[in-house]
Amino acid sequence: MMVSCDFPTFFHFKHSPMYTCLQQRPDYSGFLCRAAAPNTIAPAAPTAYAEAEARKQERTAVRLGLPSKGRMADETLTLLKNCQLGVRQVNPRQYVADIPQLSNMEVWFQRPKDIVRKLQSGDLDLGIVGLDTVCEYGQGNEDLVLVHDELEYGDCRLSIAIPMYGIFENINSLEDLAKMPQWTEERPLRITTGFTYLGTKFTEDKGLKHVSFSTADGALEAAPAMGISDAIMDLVGSGTTLRENNLKEIKDGVVLESQAVLVGSKKSLTQRDGVLDITHEILERLEAHLRASGQYTVTANMKGSNADEVAERILGQASLSGLQGPTISPVYTNSNGKVKVDYYAIVICVPRKALYDSVKQLRLIGGSGVLVSPLTYIFEEETPKWKALLKKLGIRHSIKGMASLAFAPFFSPSIPRGFRSGLLVAGVRPVVCTFRCGGARKVDRWPVVRAVDFPDSFFEDEDEDEDEDEVEERDPFPIAAASIAELEDKEMPPCPPGLRQYETMAVLRPDMSEDERIKLTERYEELLITGGGMYVEVFNRGVIPLAYTIKKKDKDGESNEYFDGIYLLFSYFTKPASILPLETRLKIDDDVIRSSTFHIRKRKYD
């Protein structure tokens, strides 16, 4: 079926695959268009989607989304510039730029809500937007991770505001508003807002009934006066605009306190090469700059007999303690050809609001030649926000200069006793490794890992001064090829009639003694054999840190918290009816932290 329609020339007609422009009408300068059948492009949709997904996977550059316009955009660029991460934009009309200090980084200027959406779709890896935008358009998506939640600009609050006049004149709280008899199912409280998701969630959590929301993007303050709504829910800074439009905030009506935040895609941070390393550097710079904001370095000379005496005088003044304490060093002078120490130099950090009082106190106790200079950066030994991010991602420990470490153990009888294998991530470079006595042997690459903690002694046998590349390439424990081949060539016996092959992984208390572990192993071996099991084998993987803390109550009702456990793998043949008694026993056993049983359909050792 073809449909023809005429368009006057003053219409701006955009070409689309759905339409074909046929000819210009000479009689009144119009255009005759014909709509093509929709099914002419439908078959290409899956192909286009697959190509888009493939491009996402092929992309190697790390993408940072920034607001494209407005006050938030200006303040974001200023913050990055102050952190020595200036954005280089060749043409202000272009939506893509870069940061020269961060190689392989693309900056994309987008609307704030589009930044959140593209983080969820995988088109962006990191973004800076307001927390309100993250909450409204992210809607609790677990893939969105707050990398830094206090960038200290863009402060505002999402709040409910009502008119100062009429039936609202004596209404001053959310409770008063909810109790007004005017609101019924037929005539609900009408709220105009651009935050329908947060608004609905807020009213439901507060138990408000008979509320309806209408959507608007701008000039919300005019809605009550025009009779469009009874109240508004909007972002409020100083509140001046509300007052000028005869509106007021109410007690308990604040939905969300918001400011600029750095948000990331959890999938990108854990799976895309380079994202975690770049995020680490950005966090280091942001934290150092924000910590130094409003701080000043005060330097002065003070006469004294020794450093301890000067330190006592300074520490006697509360405002002169600095971040961790004053730095005191001798000042060497030349007196008649002899080097003497009569003065000591004092360096402390003080906040701007206490600057004058600190200088005054320092002069009162003998300080002279006082110099004051603003601080640019204060770098911590380890950035707190970085530690918090690793915990959110499940990568909860750093080891000897590595940006981060994650390890996902896997179990196979092809690994000799005393060795551990798994997926190791040093920074964001996943490799399949086999470990023994603190060594690592690179075997292959792998894209996804499950992260767990390691004790500080994990690499205790390594040379402290070794480079990471040397550790990665060398083979600290040559494994006999014959031994590996012997294990890999091992053939499992044929499955007896009426039985099936199973594997049970049991995680035991880490504080169990060797005798206790052996007795527990024998106890479950006996249980399996009694239930008709055959060819029972047990593989002890030793103590391995858990990916997350596990809490378990014992028979006395006491809750115990475990951070690691002894991993035992049981391999056997048995009747399906024997699995339930086994799992029940494991579940109530105080010595077993966690267990799981799997049916093995076909066992392979290659």
- Given a contact cutoff of 8 angstroms between Cβ atoms, the answer to whether 287 and 438 are in contact is no
- Given a contact cutoff of 8 angstroms between Cβ atoms, the answer to whether 422 and 544 are in contact is no
The last residue of a domain, from among 433, 467, 483? 483
User: Does 338 score more than 90 pLDDT?
Assistant: no
Pairing type for strands 96-98 and 62-67 reads unpaired
Same structural domain for residues 142 and 228? Answer: no
Whether 163 maps to a domain, the answer reads yes
Q: Look up residue 492 and give its amino acid.
A: M
Helix (H, G, I), strand (E, B), or coil: what is residue 307? helix
pLDDT at 197: 94
Same structural domain for residues 299 and 320? Answer: yes
How far is Cα 425 from Cα 395, in angstroms, rounded to an integer? 9
DSSP H helices, 154-195, are: 174-178
pLDDT at 123: 94
Average pLDDT over residues 30-36: 40
Host domain of residue 104: 47-154+261-290
Integer CA distances (angstroms), 438 to 254, 309, 433, 594, in order: 53, 48, 11, 26
Quote the tokens at residue 541.
Answer: 């993987």
**What's the pLDDT tens digit per position in 206-254?**
989 899 999 887 788 999 999 999 999 999 998 999 999 999 999 999 9
Closest CA to 541 of 419, 425, 453: 419
**What's the pLDDT tens digit per position in 392-427?**
888 754 433 333 344 444 444 444 444 444 444 443
Average pLDDT over residues 33-61: 54
Quote the tokens at residue 65.
Answer: 């989304």
**What's the pLDDT tens digit per position in 255-281?**
999 999 999 999 999 988 889 999 999
The last residue of a domain, from among 460, 483, 506? 483
Same structural domain for residues 301 and 449? Answer: no
The Cα angle at residue 376 between residues 374 and 379, in degrees rounded to 5: 125
How far is Cα 62 from Cα 73, in angstroms, rounded to an integer? 20
User: Does 557 score more than 60 pLDDT?
Assistant: yes
The CATH number linked to 370 is: 3.30.70.120
pLDDT at 147: 95
Whether 101 maps to a domain, the answer reads yes
Q: Look up residue 361 and give its amino acid.
A: Q
How far is Cα 247 from Cα 169, in angstroms, rounded to an integer? 10
Closest CA to 369 of 459, 303, 272, 296: 303
Same structural domain for residues 361 and 497? Answer: no
**What's the pLDDT tens digit per position in 572-591?**
999 888 888 898 889 888 88
Whether 379 maps to a domain, the answer reads no
Same structural domain for residues 268 and 137? Answer: yes
User: Does 496 score more than 60 pLDDT?
Assistant: yes
C-alpha 222, offset from chain centre: 39
Same structural domain for residues 51 and 32? Answer: no
User: Which H or E run contains 135?
Assistant: helix 131-138
Same structural domain for residues 344 and 284? Answer: no
Whether 384 maps to a domain, the answer reads no
User: Does 122 score more than 50 pLDDT?
Assistant: yes
Average pLDDT over residues 353-359: 87
Instruction: Report the side by side order of strands in the sheet with 338-351.
Output: 327-335, 338-351, 295-303, 367-374
Average pLDDT over residues 142-150: 94
pLDDT band at 602 (very low <50, low <70, confident <90, very high): low
Same structural domain for residues 139 and 164? Answer: no
Average pLDDT over residues 492-513: 85
Residues above pLDDT 70, as percent of the chain: 73
The mean-pLDDT minimum among 29-38, 168-177, 256-265, 535-544 falls in 29-38
Average pLDDT over residues 422-444: 40
The mean-pLDDT minimum among 383-392, 483-492, 506-515, 543-552 falls in 483-492
Whether 136 maps to a domain, the answer reads yes
pLDDT at 536: 87
How far is Cα 277 from Cα 60, in angstroms, rounded to an integer? 14
pLDDT at 52: 56
User: Does 203 score more than 70 pLDDT?
Assistant: yes
Same structural domain for residues 266 and 140? Answer: yes
Helix (H, G, I), strand (E, B), or coil: what is residue 21? strand
Q: pTM of the entire structure?
A: 0.58
Same structural domain for residues 29 and 68? Answer: no
Pairing type for strands 231-236 and 420-426 reads unpaired
- DSSP code string of 544-574: EEEEEEEEEE-TTS-EEEEEEEEEEEEEEEE
Same structural domain for residues 413 and 464? Answer: yes
The last residue of a domain, from among 311, 342, 374? 374
**Count of structural domains, the chain:** 6
The Cα angle at residue 138 between residues 130 and 70, in degrees rounded to 5: 30
Quote the tokens at residue 34.
Answer: 């014909």
Average pLDDT over residues 168-197: 93
Closest CA to 261 of 151, 166, 355, 159: 151
pLDDT band at 133 (very low <50, low <70, confident <90, very high): very high
Same structural domain for residues 136 and 277? Answer: yes
Region of 152 please: left (phi>0), alpha (psi -120 to 50) or beta: left
- Given a contact cutoff of 8 angstroms between Cβ atoms, the answer to whether 116 and 139 are in contact is no
Pairing type for strands 429-435 and 441-445 reads antiparallel
How far is Cα 300 from Cα 329, in angstroms, rounded to an integer? 11
pLDDT at 429: 38
